[in-house]
C-alpha cells in the first residue's frame, strides 16, 4: 500500500531542493516535469483530459 505523505513548510523554512528549482528558468522546470511525466505515463504526447458534464437543475 502506498501512503500519502504531505509536508507543509513555512515560507522561510523551504527545503533545500526548492532553492535549486527556483534558481532554474521556467522552461527548465517544465522540461523536468515533462521528463517525470514520460517516465510515469510513457511516451504519450500529453496527459489525458477528462471532462464530466454535469446538468444543473
Domains identified in the chain, total number: 1
Please report whether residue 48 resides in a domain: no
What is the predicted pLDDT for the residue at 50?
76
Query: Mean pLDDT over all residues of the chain?
Result: 80
pLDDT at 22: 85
What are the phi and psi torsion angles at 30 (to 5°)? -65, -40
pLDDT digits (tens, 9 = 90+) for 19-46: 788 888 999 999 998 888 888 877 766 6
Determine the structural domain holding residue 30 and report its residue range. 15-42
* C-alpha span between 40 and 35 (Å, rounded): 9
N-term to C-term CA, the chain = 40
Specify if 56 maps to a domain.
no
Strands (DSSP E) along the chain, which ranges? none
Measured CA to CA, the distance from residue 39 to residue 36 in angstroms comes to 5
Whether 37 contacts 47, CB under 8 Å = yes
Amino acid at each position: 500500500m502506498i501512503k500519502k505523505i504531505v509536508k507543509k513548510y513555512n515560507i522561510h523554512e523551504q527545503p533545500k531542493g526548492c532553492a535549486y528549482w527556483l534558481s532554474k528558468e521556467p522552461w527548465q522546470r517544465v522540461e523536468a516535469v515533462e521528463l517525470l511525466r514520460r517516465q510515469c505515463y510513457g511516451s504519450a504526447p500529453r496527459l489525458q483530459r477528462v471532462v464530466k458534464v454535469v446538468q444543473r437543475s
